[in-house]
Chain A
Amino acid sequence: MLNRWTPFEWIIALRFMREGRMQTAFIISGVAIGVAVIVFMSALLSGLQSNFIRRVLSAQAHIQLLPPKEVARPQRDVEPGADNSVYGTIVQPPLQRVRSIDQWQAIARHIGAMSQVVVVSPEAAGSVLAVRGSASRAITMIGIEPTQYFRIVDIRDKIVRGTDRLNAADILIGTELASDLGVDVGDKLRISSALGASNTLSVTGIFDLGNKGANQRTTFVALHTAQSLLGLPGGVTGLDLTVRDVYAAERIAQRITAATGVQADSWIKTNAQFFTAINAQQTSNTVIRFFVALSVAFGIASVLVVSVVQRSREIGILRAMGISQGQILRVFLLQGGLLGMLGSIAGAALGAFALILWQQLARNADGTPLFPLSFEPVLFIAALVLATLTGLGAAVAPALRAARLEPVVAIRG
């Protein structure tokens, strides 16, 4: 029987849809497929994106402050000479020496006081030679303050053997370098720099950064150790920062440069290529969404147009009974909205199912998922709302047509 809380228009719309079973089922399936494609694609894209960002940001500071590059200066004036001849100058890029950031303590204090900035960590990095017996490798030695630096890049998670202890005579090395040089935890390594300084350090931990090149080259030592090896007493070659809002990093970097005059590179800038790719994908995603929505709209509209024609007699009878044009209009608008909504619910379920299936099937060689997918309720709610609105919009023309039917003509058939 009729539920006393259901308005007249809902009662009619629901019954009409139930009576036109086949049409209703087909169009709901059509909408569902469209919505499922959008849900699946969007979740995949945002999963890919957030996975990449997470990976990048777990191995990299949000912003890095660097000393100014040494700029090449022409050797002579380029002003035209007396005979109006122009002298060409050959400008050679100068050799970049290891340089320190001037006044870095003051800058670090200034930046650390910014509300957006979470961690400031100084580092002194340079290329050195690691020697073990007769074997040697060129490596990048990064001198850090472990307490600060580990809050930016958490090496502790990546240690596969040994500890993260980093005293003056300690060094952390990657798995590749360890096997290249045949060293293990507790073994000694001789580090010598281009300046001729050298030091013997003991390997306290071996880490895996998930990247062969990085495991071969990157090593960590205490800041003081690096400073003395690189001939930079008290100096640093960079300041690493993390910020609260990772997407605001570029803006903050620009503000820091403006305030301190030091070059600041955000992760957004250093990964510009990635963002270009994401933008391109997002554009194509939007285009696909638009066309799916359009075909959903046309599908719903055409089903309703047919339904209005089929039901014109009944519409005429309803009008003869005193049902108003507005009520008829709402009956068909409702059907459009409901078709969109039901289709999107089915589509969201279908999309979620496809995502789960995809996660089961698409796996890394070791059987772990390619990347974790997040089922964001926002995505499903947005799909629901948009599909419902699309259905409503698509129903406008058929509903107007139904409302404007001349009852006499409709009844005569």
Chain B
Amino acid sequence: MQLLDVHKSFNVGTPIETEVLHGIDLTLFKGEFCAVMGPSGSGKSTLLNIVGLLDRPTRGTLTVCGEETTRLDDRALTRLRGHNIGFVFQYHHLISAFSAIENVMMPMLGAAGFPDAAMSERAAELLEYVGLTPWRDNPANKLSGGQQQRVAIARSLAMNPPVLLADEPTGNLDTKSADSVFELLRRFNREQGTSVLFVTHNPVLAQRCDKTIEVIDGTIVDRHRGAKAASDADLLL
């Protein structure tokens, strides 16, 4: 996963055109757990949305899993996103009309078109993994914030994506829930080799990542190396 000189402007072509990202270069290696820090409004979410193919850069290139994405159409981007990228947002964003387990099944269901037994098995496993088995059939909106966030994590892992993007997943949680959510992501990263971009304002959690980048006013100003560095070119996604 690599970004080269990525710029992003909003309201292009209008008097209020503003550039939010000013030439971001970023490489995320396979299995790397990278914290993204920086003040509010600095462009972290914008960056994640671009990395997650939800938004297109105004300029610059983005390569995901070896595929250059600037020229891909919406259909191709959607497929790439569905199979390679998991999202966790600050506001868990579950689909309230469905139960916990159905929410976890959703990405698989969308990709396959029809439900099947394998999907519900995998969803049950993931819920077990995030410790929510007793609540699997609860409606999504009848769970606590921490529980909902864990369902969202289980959902983001459903397609076993090589890249996980977490935009302040712990921002709305108390310290204890935040800790358990972080641990979940960390554990999955270790066990499955999933690369993670983890936006947080919590320096303690950032400290426990492989590396930290700091975004200020749309540029990456600082890169801290964490404990474990994965720099082998072979591991480049």
- In the complex, whether B78 has a CB less than 8 A from a CB of chain A is yes
Within 8 A of A (CB), among B91-112: 93, 95-98, 102, 105-107, 109-112
Give the residues in chain A near B198, CB-CB below 8 Å.
none
**With A and B bound together, what is the CA distance between A103 and B42 in angstroms?**
106
Give the residues in chain A near B55, CB-CB below 8 Å.
406-408
**With A and B bound together, what is the CA distance between A169 and B21 in angstroms?**
113
Query: Among the interface residues A8, A319, A320, which one has the most CB atoms of the partner chain B within 10 A?
Result: A320
Within 8 A of A (CB), among B55-92: 55, 74-75, 78-79, 81-83, 87, 89
Q: A15-B97, A19-B97 are in contact. Are A325 and B78 (CB under 8 A)?
A: yes
Q: Is the CB of B114 within 8 A of A411?
A: no
Q: Is the CB of A322 within 8 A of B54?
A: no
Q: Is the CB of A317 within 8 A of B95?
A: yes
Within 8 A of B (CB), among A1-41: 1-8, 11, 15-16, 18-19
Q: Is the CB of B83 within 8 A of A322?
A: yes
- In the complex, whether B27 has a CB less than 8 A from a CB of chain A is no
- In the complex, whether B116 has a CB less than 8 A from a CB of chain A is yes
CB of B96 to closest CB in A, whole Å: 7
- In the complex, whether B159 has a CB less than 8 A from a CB of chain A is yes
- In the complex, whether A289 has a CB less than 8 A from a CB of chain B is no
- In the complex, whether B115 has a CB less than 8 A from a CB of chain A is yes
**With A and B bound together, what is the CA distance between A15 and B109 in angstroms?**
14
Interface of A is mostly: helix
Q: Is the CB of A322 within 8 A of B96?
A: no
Q: Is the CB of A19 within 8 A of B96?
A: yes
CB of A411 to closest CB in B, whole Å: 7
Q: Is the CB of B93 within 8 A of A322?
A: no
Task: Out of B83, B96, B106, B117, name the residue touching A318 (CB < 8 Å).
Answer: B106
Q: Is the CB of A314 within 8 A of B95?
A: yes
CB of B141 to closest CB in A, whole Å: 10
Q: How large is the interface on B (under 10, 10 to 19, 20 to 34, 35 or more residues)?
A: 35 or more
CB of B113 to closest CB in A, whole Å: 5
Task: Out of B93, B102, B112, name the residue touching A313 (CB < 8 Å).
Answer: B93
- Contacts across chains A and B counted by CB atoms under 8 Å: 86
CB of B190 to closest CB in A, whole Å: 24
Task: Out of A317, A325, A326, name the residue touching B93 (CB < 8 Å).
Answer: A317
Closest residue of A by beta carbon distance from B46: A408
**With A and B bound together, what is the CA distance between A6 and B114 in angstroms?**
6
**With A and B bound together, what is the CA distance between A363 and B182 in angstroms?**
77
Q: Is the CB of A8 within 8 A of B95?
A: no
Q: A1-B120, A15-B97 are in contact. Are A323 and B78 (CB under 8 A)?
A: yes
**With A and B bound together, what is the CA distance between A400 and B32 in angstroms?**
39
- In the complex, whether A327 has a CB less than 8 A from a CB of chain B is yes
- In the complex, whether B169 has a CB less than 8 A from a CB of chain A is no
**With A and B bound together, what is the CA distance between A318 and B96 in angstroms?**
12
Task: Out of A8, A317, A319, A406, name the residue touching B109 (CB < 8 Å).
Answer: A8
**With A and B bound together, what is the CA distance between A325 and B82 in angstroms?**
13
Q: Is the CB of A411 within 8 A of B109?
A: no
Q: A4-B115, A11-B115 are in contact. Are A322 and B110 (CB under 8 A)?
A: yes
Within 8 A of B (CB), among A335-359: none
Q: Is the CB of A322 within 8 A of B81?
A: yes
**With A and B bound together, what is the CA distance between A323 and B79 in angstroms?**
8
CB of A23 to closest CB in B, whole Å: 13
- In the complex, whether B43 has a CB less than 8 A from a CB of chain A is no
CB of A326 to closest CB in B, whole Å: 8
- In the complex, whether A281 has a CB less than 8 A from a CB of chain B is no
Give the residues in chain A near B49, CB-CB below 8 Å.
408
Closest residue of B by beta carbon distance from A413: B91
Q: Is the CB of A411 within 8 A of B110?
A: no
- In the complex, whether B52 has a CB less than 8 A from a CB of chain A is yes
- In the complex, whether A286 has a CB less than 8 A from a CB of chain B is no
- In the complex, whether B30 has a CB less than 8 A from a CB of chain A is no
Query: Among the interface residues A6, A319, A411, which one has the most CB atoms of the partner chain B within 10 A?
Result: A411
Give the residues in chain B near A277, CB-CB below 8 Å.
none
- In the complex, whether A321 has a CB less than 8 A from a CB of chain B is yes
Q: Is the CB of A2 within 8 A of B97?
A: no
**With A and B bound together, what is the CA distance between A314 and B96 in angstroms?**
9
Q: Mark B36-54, 1 if CB is under 8 A from A, else 0.
A: 0000000001000100101
- In the complex, whether A295 has a CB less than 8 A from a CB of chain B is no
Closest residue of A by beta carbon distance from B141: A19
**With A and B bound together, what is the CA distance between A19 and B107 in angstroms?**
20
CB of B144 to closest CB in A, whole Å: 19
Q: Is the CB of B107 within 8 A of A8?
A: no
Closest residue of B by beta carbon distance from A404: B74
Give the residues in chain B near A319, CB-CB below 8 Å.
54, 78
Task: Out of B52, B112, B113, B116, name the residue touching A320 (CB < 8 Å).
Answer: B52
Q: Mark B200-215, 1 if CB is under 8 A from A, else 0.
A: 0000000000000000
Within 8 A of A (CB), among B106-147: 106-107, 109-117, 120
- In the complex, whether A324 has a CB less than 8 A from a CB of chain B is yes
Q: Is the CB of A322 within 8 A of B107?
A: yes
Q: A11-B115, A321-B82, A321-B110 are in contact. Are A16 and B75 (CB under 8 A)?
A: no
- In the complex, whether B155 has a CB less than 8 A from a CB of chain A is yes
Give the residues in chain A near B111, CB-CB below 8 Å.
322
Give the residues in chain A near B97, CB-CB below 8 Å.
15-16, 18-19
Residues of A within 8 A of B (CB): 1-8, 11, 15-16, 18-19, 313-314, 316-327, 406-408, 411-412
The 4 closest A-B pairs by CB, nearest first: A322-B82, A15-B97, A19-B97, A2-B115
**4 additional contacts (CB under 8 A) given A322-B78, A322-B107:** A11-B115, A314-B96, A322-B81, A324-B110
Residues of B within 8 A of A (CB): 45, 49, 52, 54-55, 74-75, 78-79, 81-83, 87, 89, 93, 95-98, 102, 105-107, 109-117, 120, 155, 159
A-B CB contact pairs (8 Å), 7 listed:
A7-B114, A15-B98, A317-B95, A321-B106, A322-B82, A322-B111, A412-B45
